[in-house]
Chains A and B, each alone.
Chain A
């Protein structure tokens, strides 16, 4: 995925039937959708996978109805949230003895994930070396040793590269604001 591809570029290309744009869109949003289902709503893996596929199916089917190409991100967040709430309601009907989940708590978590997504988008603007080392260390939780073995770099170089790249990421993020959170409601499970 080219770092310069904005959401509106991707949406326009998807609408024109560009398969590589669809793949890039899924790649860009996959972590976000997954994290909302698994972290914010704490869905078990099977339910989270169903929600994940359903969200992308709906995005694919309704991309043409999106009023503004820039609205992709809040739309995906709301769609994922709605699919998760529907899933929790269905589970609640089948298993009324289950634990309750506060959707308000989930919304707080979504706000934080939205901030994380902003950071992720900024990361995509950095050099491939920076993207790789920060992703491996922070997102994939790999040790200096593992990263060093896979990238053929000594641990000291990895530590300094992480520090330097984190600084670049901070500089890139300066002046940006996170998007607003989704609305609140309560559902039990």
Chain B
């Protein structure tokens, strides 16, 4: 039996269910996360004691700046601090 155009459209619609809400929210917060990261890195460059504290607990430092400490963000902060 041949599929009608509307059945084909319905099938295509079903191929794109929503992405998990948490993933979308984290990606939408990227500009804010980036600003938070910039602030932390700048402060770490100017203050060695703060840098040590930061490296000891990156997740808490991110949370304190209002950034959700998802793995990609933590990895990015660690990478920038090691540069």
A interface with B by C-beta (< 8 Å): 17, 19, 22-23, 26-27, 30-35, 39, 49-50, 52-54, 56-57, 60, 112-113, 115-117, 119-120, 123, 134-135, 138-141, 166-167, 169-170, 173
Decide yes or no whether B10 CB sits under 8 A from chain A. yes
Decide yes or no whether B6 CB sits under 8 A from chain A. yes
Contact, CB under 8 Å: A31 / B30: no
- How many residue pairs link A and B with beta carbons under 8 A? The number is 93
Decide yes or no whether B49 CB sits under 8 A from chain A. no
- Given contacts A31-B19, A112-B12, A166-B9, list 10 more A-B pairs with CB under 8 A: A26-B24, A30-B19, A30-B23, A32-B16, A39-B15, A53-B27, A57-B76, A60-B34, A123-B13, A135-B13
B interface with A by C-beta (< 8 Å): 5-6, 9-10, 12-20, 23-24, 26-28, 30-32, 34, 70-73, 76
Of A26, A53, A57, A120, the contact of B16 (CB 8 Å cutoff): A120
The 6 closest A-B pairs by CB, nearest first: A34-B19, A56-B27, A53-B72, A138-B13, A116-B15, A31-B16
Would you give 10 A-B contacts (Cβ < 8 Å), ordered by A? A30-B18, A32-B16, A34-B23, A54-B72, A57-B72, A116-B15, A119-B9, A135-B13, A138-B13, A141-B17
Contact, CB under 8 Å: B17 / A31: yes
Which chain A positions have C-beta within 8 A of B24? 26-27, 30
Contact, CB under 8 Å: A119 / B13: yes
Contact, CB under 8 Å: A139 / B27: no
Which chain B positions have C-beta within 8 A of A140? 17-18
A20 — nearest CB in chain B belongs to which residue?
B28
Which chain B positions have C-beta within 8 A of A57? 30, 72, 76
Which chain B positions have C-beta within 8 A of A23? 28
Q: A27-B24, A116-B16 are in contact. Are A60 and B30 (CB under 8 A)?
A: yes
Q: A22-B30, A53-B26 are in contact. Are A169 and B9 (CB under 8 A)?
A: yes
Which chain B positions have C-beta within 8 A of A117? 16
Of A19, A35, A39, A166, the contact of B10 (CB 8 Å cutoff): A166
Bound: A120/B10 CA distance, A: 11
Of B13, B20, B26, B71, the contact of A120 (CB 8 Å cutoff): B13
